[in-house]
Amino acid sequence: MAIKHHLTDDLLMAYAAGTLSEAFSLAVATHISLCDDCRATLAAYEAMGGAILDRGDDLAPMSNDALARALARLDMPAPASAQKMPKHPVLPAPLQHYVGTDLSAIKWRKLGMGVRQAILPTNGKGGSARLLHIPAGHAVPAHGHRGMELTLVLKGAFRDEAQQFSRGDIEIATEADEHTPVAMGDEDCICLAVTDAPLRFNALIPRLMQPIFQI
């Protein structure tokens, strides 16, 4: 199924430049794993980084023995590179580094109204990441945002007031947006959600729960 909701150029450029937080980088890398359009755009933004490096109007000369010292290091064992992850129907490789490959082994915690979440172990600076499990027909409590929230569908589909989102689609919500995502059809929906600020819930109970659930 073709992906309809993509990353913005701002996010792709910041990811190429390496200025996004770990949580936002995870959402970008996971979307790109599923979206060839955004992968191609990322390649262009990385080529811009290459061009800036290549322009070379500012060189910083290395010390005289720099090459000799590098050559002396070449025979040392190379650091292990990242393990190649097997293809998974729900979890693209970047997510597998955080939750493994077994969906049933994920430790979910109740978020209320049937929705469950699993907070992912990112370094916590500049954003947090979680998986959301929304049973078919259920809704995530209506909420607005203080910052930016990215919601990427991994399984099933959800709709909010205006649009619908299927596997690979990413919803980008900002402070102006207030929405109630509802899992569509008869399949449970699993999403990756990252936020750069605590969500702002409208109903009293979820707001009281906020410190407990860390969302």
Partner 1 sequence: MLLDAHPWNNAFTPTKTLLQRLLREINGLCKGYLVLADKISSVAIGQETGAGPDFAGLMFSVRDKGDRAAYGVVFSHFAPRVKAFLMKSGSDAALAEELAQDVMVTVWHKSAQFDPTRASLSTWIFTIARNRRIDYFRRARRPEPEDLDWGASEEPDAADIYQTAEETRRLSAALSTLPEPQRALIERAYYGDLSHSEIAAQTGLPLGTIKSRIRLALERLRQNMN
Footprint on this chain of partner 1 (rule: CB under 8 A): 6-10, 13-14, 16-19, 21-22, 25-26, 28-30, 32-33, 36-44, 46-63, 66-67, 69-71, 73-74, 78-79, 81-82, 84-85, 92-94, 97, 122-123, 125
Give Cβ neighbours of residue 128 (< 8 Å, ≥ 6 apart): 23, 119, 120, 122, 194, 195, 214, 215
Nearer to partner 1, 10 or 186 (CB): 10
Nearer to partner 1, 42 or 173 (CB): 42
Give the residue among 186, 200, 187, 150 at the shortest CA–CA distance from 11. 150
- The least CB distance from residue 131 to partner 1, in Å, is 14
Nearer to partner 1, 60 or 212 (CB): 60
Nearer to partner 1, 78 or 212 (CB): 78
Give Cβ neighbours of residue 7 (< 8 Å, ≥ 6 apart): 28, 31, 32, 35, 38, 41, 170, 172
- The least CB distance from residue 64 to partner 1, in Å, is 11
Nearer to partner 1, 96 or 210 (CB): 96
- The least CB distance from residue 144 to partner 1, in Å, is 20
- The least CB distance from residue 74 to partner 1, in Å, is 5
- The least CB distance from residue 186 to partner 1, in Å, is 28
Phi, psi dihedral angles at 111 (to 5 degrees): -115, -5
CA distance 94 to 174: 24
Spell out where the chain has E strands.
109-112, 115-119, 128-134, 143-145, 149-155, 157-159, 164-166, 170-173, 178-179, 182-183, 189-195, 199-201
